[in-house]
């Protein structure tokens, strides 16, 4: 076919970008450029600000440094004297800046060995960008009440090609409990795994719980590592299937926690996409994918095992990823253990009474052809229950959880077209019975991904993506609803560029949109952001 004249080809690119914007519901922006330049809007997310009580506050700098390599920053933290030790809210704020050329990088912040933030960075413009992340870290108040060592790392590489030096400042702002503002109901202790190490595909260590523990929750900051196939675990295929990323059992993943070698909790990992993901950084330059800047931990209620853990001895906690080939690396699973104590008792006894594990399922069906197709389905269920004899009577806790994942992966020879449509669910109910009416909290989590990469004429790569992060929760007491919440965070984007050419010949275009909705008693938040070619074209709030 005869090549079109350059003027006509450029016009078609512009028209394509405009049409894509209309398809995504983004109104054309008069001020937006027709292509990305050398600078664009600083990264933004549509999530809500953290509500604070308006009481006296104090801010402490935890870390201020630059990352040029893989050397961790190490420092010291001291709590603010003016704000005491009774806090209603503690807010972590990370401010970052980077300019030049750089990949997306993963990072963490630990205080007293406790992981308080797992994050990733945006990719910079040549002229530079700034961004910030805020996180409610009130649950770590027990650690923050005393002096602690600080360790932070955003592993980076700076050389003649990758010039971006990552500059960060991390602060904690403490909001006092005063007047009618009560202290937060935070855990009494935050434990880390002693002697933690990686054993095969598992990460394990020991904890020694207080002998009067009455609630125990593990949180795991699980991430597929950058740079390898496990970063895109949901695209992997069985060994016999012709595709570039392989895993023996295909794409199903499940993050499991065991206590002394016995399965204690299961969870579906979130399919985080970092800001260079799906072969197209232009998709994420301004609006990152859900959770990319603030990786939320998976939570496991281990209270049914508290009777076993309360004997004053060390117990082994191990975290493993089902579906990860034996002995293969690719996941990071740092773990904290949160403990609430029965302050009226020196010893709380109890026992595990129910341990019912469903048979795990993981099935893959491959169909070859001009368009290869892999259909995958996996799932697992677990119910555990145990009692504790506390100062306020015998309390029985039952945790029932079921996880599932389905996906359809399509690709052509040479993977010039690569598409995935997937859905993961994670349903959990925690029920407590004993003194007073029975209480039950249910959570229904749904993660979705619908994306496609295609390479067309002129080596032009296009990525189209929709991601969803949804969660509904309800709390009942005596059968009456006493609390509920609904979260819906949806991202859509479409971006294209010419590969393997200098920046000024990429002719990159892209549009993106995020709508974040959060509802609950006294809560109504609904914000939409939209971009075109690196410019913010819409910032709309409904509530």
For the stretch 112-150, pLDDT in tens is: 999 999 999 999 999 999 999 999 999 999 999 999 999
pLDDT at residue 227, rounded to an integer: 66
Distance of CA 380 to the CA centre of its chain: 21
Q: Which helix (H) or strand (E) holds 13?
A: helix 6-23
Distance of CA 238 to the CA centre of its chain: 26
Integer Cα distance of 24 and 535 in angstroms: 16
Least confident of 280-289, 321-330, 355-364: 321-330
- pLDDT of 8 > 50? The answer is no
Residue 484: CB atoms within 10 Å: 14
Give start and end residues of each alpha helix (H) in 100-251: 141-144
Read off the pLDDT of each residue in 343-367 and give the average, rounded to a whole number: 97
pLDDT at residue 330, rounded to an integer: 87
Q: Which helix (H) or strand (E) holds 468?
A: strand 460-477
Q: Is 288 exposed, middle or buried (0-12, 13-18, 19+ CB in 10 A)?
A: buried
Least confident of 5-14, 145-154, 336-345, 452-461: 5-14
Mean pLDDT of the chain: 92
Task: Look up residue 294 and give its DSSP letter.
Answer: S
Q: Which helix (H) or strand (E) holds 21?
A: helix 6-23
Q: List, for residues 437-475, the tens digit of each pLDDT value.
A: 999 999 999 999 999 999 999 999 999 999 999 999 999
pLDDT at residue 37, rounded to an integer: 82
Q: List, for residues 29-76, the tens digit of each pLDDT value.
A: 334 678 888 899 999 999 999 999 999 999 999 999 999 999 999 999
Read off the pLDDT of each residue in 9-26 and give the average, rounded to a whole number: 35
pLDDT at residue 296, rounded to an integer: 97
pLDDT at residue 28, rounded to an integer: 38
Integer Cα distance of 275 and 103 in angstroms: 8
State the sign of the Cα–Cα–Cα–Cα dihedral 148, 336, 59, 80. negative
- pLDDT of 231 > 70? The answer is yes
Q: Which residues lie closer than 8 Å to 504 by C-beta, 6 or more apart?
A: none
pTM exceeds 0.75 for this model: yes
Integer Cα distance of 225 and 330 in angstroms: 5
Integer Cα distance of 540 and 529 in angstroms: 7
Q: List, for residues 165-212, the tens digit of each pLDDT value.
A: 999 999 999 999 999 999 999 999 999 999 888 876 688 999 999 999
Read off the pLDDT of each residue in 244-252 and give the average, rounded to a whole number: 95
pLDDT at residue 15, rounded to an integer: 33
pLDDT at residue 36, rounded to an integer: 86
HEC readout, 379-425: EEEEEEEEEEEECCEEEEEEEEEEEEEEEEEEEEHHHCEEEEEEEEE
Task: Look up residue 44 and give its DSSP letter.
Answer: -
Q: Is 378 exposed, middle or buried (0-12, 13-18, 19+ CB in 10 A)?
A: buried
Question: For residue 535, what pLDDT band results from cuts at 50, 70 and 90?
Answer: very high
Residue 67: CB atoms within 10 Å: 25
pLDDT at residue 202, rounded to an integer: 81
Copy the structure tokens of residue 485.
Answer: 């919440």
Percent of residues, the chain, with pLDDT higher than 70 = 93
Q: Which residues lie closer than 8 Å to 67 by C-beta, 6 or more apart?
A: 73, 105, 107, 153, 154, 155, 156, 165, 166, 167, 168
CA triple 142-145-146, angle to 5 deg: 115
**295: nearest Cα among 375, 225, 213:** 225
């Amino acid at each position: 076919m005869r090549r079109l004249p350059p003027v006509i080809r450029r016009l078609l690119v512009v028209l394509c970008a405009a049409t894509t914007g209309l398809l995504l519901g983004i109104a054309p922006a008069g001020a937006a450029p027709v292509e990305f330049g050398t600078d664009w809007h600083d990264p933004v997310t549509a999530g809500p600000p953290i509500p604070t009580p308006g009481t006296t506050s104090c801010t402490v700098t935890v870390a201020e440094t630059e990352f040029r390599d893989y050397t961790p920053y190490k420092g010291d933290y001291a709590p603010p004297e003016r704000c005491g030790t009774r806090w209603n809210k503690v807010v972590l704020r990370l401010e970052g800046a980077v300019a030049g050329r750089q990949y997306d990088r993963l990072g963490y912040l630990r205080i007293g060995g406790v992981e308080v933030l797992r994050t990733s960075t945006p990719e910079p413009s040549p002229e530079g960008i700034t961004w910030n992340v805020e996180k409610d870290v009130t649950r770590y108040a027990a650690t923050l009440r005393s002096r602690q060592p600080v360790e932070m790392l955003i592993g980076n590489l700076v050389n003649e090609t990758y010039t971006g030096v990552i500059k960060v400042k991390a602060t904690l702002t403490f909001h006092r409990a005063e007047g009618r503002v009560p202290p937060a109901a935070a855990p009494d202790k935050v434990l880390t795994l002693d002697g933690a190490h990686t054993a095969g595909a598992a990460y394990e260590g020991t904890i020694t719980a207080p002998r009067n523990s009455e609630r125990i929750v593990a949180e795991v900051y699980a991430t597929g590592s950058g740079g390898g196939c496990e970063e895109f675990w949901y695209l992997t295929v069985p060994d016999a299937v012709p595709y570039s990323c392989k895993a023996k059992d295909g794409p199903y993943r499940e993050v499991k926690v065991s206590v002394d070698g016995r399965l204690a909790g299961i969870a579906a990992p979130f399919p985080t996409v970092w800001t260079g993901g799906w072969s197209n950084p232009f998709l994420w330059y301004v609006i990152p994918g859900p959770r990319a800047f603030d990786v939320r931990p998976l939570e496991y209620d281990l209270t049914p095992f508290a009777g076993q853990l309360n004997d004053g001895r060390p117990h082994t906690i191990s975290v493993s990823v089902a579906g990860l080939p034996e002995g293969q690396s690719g996941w990071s699973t740092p773990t904290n253990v949160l403990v609430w104590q029965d302050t009226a008792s020196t010893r709380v006894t109890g026992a595990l009474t129910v341990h019912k594990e469903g048979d795990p399922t993981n099935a893959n069906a491959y169909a070859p052809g001009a368009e290869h197709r892999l259909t995958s389905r996996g799932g697992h269920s677990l119910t555990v229950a145990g009692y504790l004899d506390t100062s306020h009577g015998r309390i029985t806790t039952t945790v029932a959880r079921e996880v599932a994942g389905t996906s359809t992966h399509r690709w052509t020879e040479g993977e010039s077209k690569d598409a995935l449509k997937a859905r993961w669910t994670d349903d959990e109910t925690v029920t407590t019975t004993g003194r007073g009416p029975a209480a039950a909290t249910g959570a229904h989590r749904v993660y979705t991904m619908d994306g496609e990469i295609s390479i067309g004429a002129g080596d032009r790569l296009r990525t189209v993506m929709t991601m969803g992060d949804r969660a509904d929760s309800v709390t009942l007491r005596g059968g009456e609803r006493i609390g509920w919440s609904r979260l819906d965070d949806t991202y859509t984007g479409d971006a294209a560029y010419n590969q393997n050419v200098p920046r000024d010949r990429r002719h990159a275009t892209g549009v993106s949109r995020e709508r974040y909705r959060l509802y609950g008693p006294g809560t109504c938040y609904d914000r939409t952001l939209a971009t075109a070619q690196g410019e913010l074209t819409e910032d709309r709030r409904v509530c």
